[in-house]
């Protein structure tokens, strides 16, 4: 017996958190009866429907995308903008992005139909490092770097400590290139962190997600993760260390 939201996530419909929302909204049926209890357990003989569509187990797939700018990190968009899922026309599984990069941010983005996998990689308690390279206005001062490294106060609370490395700085052109590593994933977090210390971001790319990079890919291109990479990510999310 497994919890209903876990079964939905494993079927690739949505992450477990989103599956819980679907249950609470009355969009899930078990054996023809609407179920709203999050603790409900089902087994392989039960028929589970989401939005009146019977779910079936899908083979788990894992993709790494070099997300280009001006693309939405979502499955669909009510404004008709291109989404990251649109970049996978040949993929039959119902994949969704692991976390998100904002509309004008490029770089490493994972997509999968494995809800448990996605949840472990996005929850801040699992401490998965993400490194971004930002082009910012101005030159960071020592105290501003310390503030970013210690954590800055945003409207949704203090950020966790970050690692900051100034790659280049040009006082005459009033701009800098800075690498910053965080393990949280709040909405537009890196942009808001730099804004909080007075240095708006004009360009942003996620260079690393854990040990993964966009090496060998152009913007808009993707590849499947290897079985070993998936295993390493699972071990990293559970232990904080990369497996062999």
What is the pLDDT at residue 202? 98
pLDDT over 80 at 239, yes or no = no
What is the pLDDT at residue 124? 67
Asked if residue 157 and residue 201 are part of one domain, the reply reads: yes
Asked if residue 133 and residue 194 are part of one domain, the reply reads: yes
| Pairwise pLDDT comparison (72 vs 242), residue with the higher score | 72
pLDDT over 70 at 141, yes or no = yes
* Distance from C-alpha of 88 to C-alpha of 20, rounded to nearest angstrom: 26
pLDDT over 90 at 120, yes or no = no
In a domain, 244, yes or no: no
Asked if residue 134 and residue 73 are part of one domain, the reply reads: no
Asked if residue 81 and residue 188 are part of one domain, the reply reads: no
What is the pLDDT at residue 9? 79
Asked if residue 32 and residue 79 are part of one domain, the reply reads: no
Asked if residue 67 and residue 111 are part of one domain, the reply reads: yes
Asked if 236 and 242 count as a contact pair (C-beta separation under 8 A), the reply is yes
Residues 6+ apart with CB under 8 A from 173: none
Q: Which CATH number goes with the domain that contains 75?
A: 3.30.70.580
In a domain, 97, yes or no: yes
Q: Which CATH number goes with the domain that contains 14?
A: 3.10.290.10
pLDDT over 90 at 115, yes or no = no
pLDDT over 90 at 17, yes or no = no
Q: pTM of the entire structure?
A: 0.79
Q: What is the mean pLDDT of residues 197-212?
A: 97
Q: What is the mean pLDDT of residues 160-169?
A: 97
Neighbours of 26 (CB within 10 A): 10
Q: In which domain, by residue range, is 152 found?
A: 129-209
Asked if residue 194 and residue 171 are part of one domain, the reply reads: yes
In a domain, 116, yes or no: yes
pLDDT over 80 at 241, yes or no = no
Asked if residue 169 and residue 69 are part of one domain, the reply reads: no
In a domain, 101, yes or no: yes
pLDDT over 80 at 67, yes or no = yes
pLDDT over 80 at 19, yes or no = yes
Residue ending a domain, choose from 54, 72, 88? 54
* Distance from C-alpha of 71 to C-alpha of 83, rounded to nearest angstrom: 5
Catalytic pick among 102, 116, 156, 170: 102
Asked if 40 and 14 count as a contact pair (C-beta separation under 8 A), the reply is no
pLDDT over 70 at 244, yes or no = no
In a domain, 192, yes or no: yes
Asked if residue 76 and residue 115 are part of one domain, the reply reads: yes
Asked if residue 69 and residue 41 are part of one domain, the reply reads: no
Q: Is 102 a catalytic residue?
A: yes
Residue ending a domain, choose from 54, 78, 98? 54
What is the pLDDT at residue 46? 87
Neighbours of 40 (CB within 10 A): 17
pLDDT tens for each residue of 95-108: 999 999 999 999 99
What is the pLDDT at residue 63? 98
Is residue 99 within a helix (H) or strand (E), and if so which, with residue range? Answer: none
Q: Which CATH number goes with the domain that contains 203?
A: 3.30.70.1560
Cα 159 → chain centroid: 17
Asked if residue 118 and residue 133 are part of one domain, the reply reads: no
Average pLDDT, the chain: 92
pLDDT tens for each residue of 174-197: 999 999 999 988 899 999 999 999
Percent of the chain with pLDDT over 90: 70
Residue 200: which of 148, 147, 131, 136 has the closest Cα?
Answer: 136
Q: How many independent structural domains does the chain possess?
A: 3
- List the beta bridge partners of residue 203: 135
What is the pLDDT at residue 221? 98
pLDDT over 70 at 57, yes or no = no
Asked if residue 203 and residue 143 are part of one domain, the reply reads: yes
In the chain, the largest separation of any two C-alpha atoms, in whole Å, equals 69
In a domain, 102, yes or no: yes
What is the pLDDT at residue 214? 97
């Amino acid at each position: 017996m497994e919890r209903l939201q876990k079964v939905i996530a494993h079927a690739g419909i949505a992450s477990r958190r989103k599956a819980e929302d679907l249950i609470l909204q009355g969009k899930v049926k078990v054996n023809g009866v609407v179920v709203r209890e999050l603790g409900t357990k089902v087994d392989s003989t039960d028929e589970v429907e989401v939005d009146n569509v019977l779910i079936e187990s899908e083979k788990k797939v894992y993709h790494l995308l070099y997300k280009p700018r001006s693309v939405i990190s979502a499955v669909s968009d009510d404004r008709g903008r291109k989404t990251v899922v649109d970049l996978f026309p040949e993929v039959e599984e119902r994949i969704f992005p692991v976390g998100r990069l904002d509309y004008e941010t490029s770089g490493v983005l994972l997509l999968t139909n494995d809800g448990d996998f996605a949840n472990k990689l996005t929850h801040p308690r699992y401490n998965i490092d993400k490194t971004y390279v930002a082009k910012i206005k101005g030159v960071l001062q020592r105290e501003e770097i310390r503030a970013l490294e210690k954590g800055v106060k945003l409207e949704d609370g203090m950020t966790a400590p970050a690692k900051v490395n100034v790659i280049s700085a040009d006082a005459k052109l009033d701009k800098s290139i800075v690498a910053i590593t965080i393990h949280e994933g709040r909405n537009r977090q890196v942009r808001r962190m730099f804004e909080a210390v007075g240095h708006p971001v004009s360009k942003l790319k996620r260079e690393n997600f854990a040990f993964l990079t966009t090496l060998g890919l152009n913007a808009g291109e993707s590849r499947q993760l290897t079985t070993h990479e998936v295993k390493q990510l699972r071990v990293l999310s559970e232990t904080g260390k990369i497996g062999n």
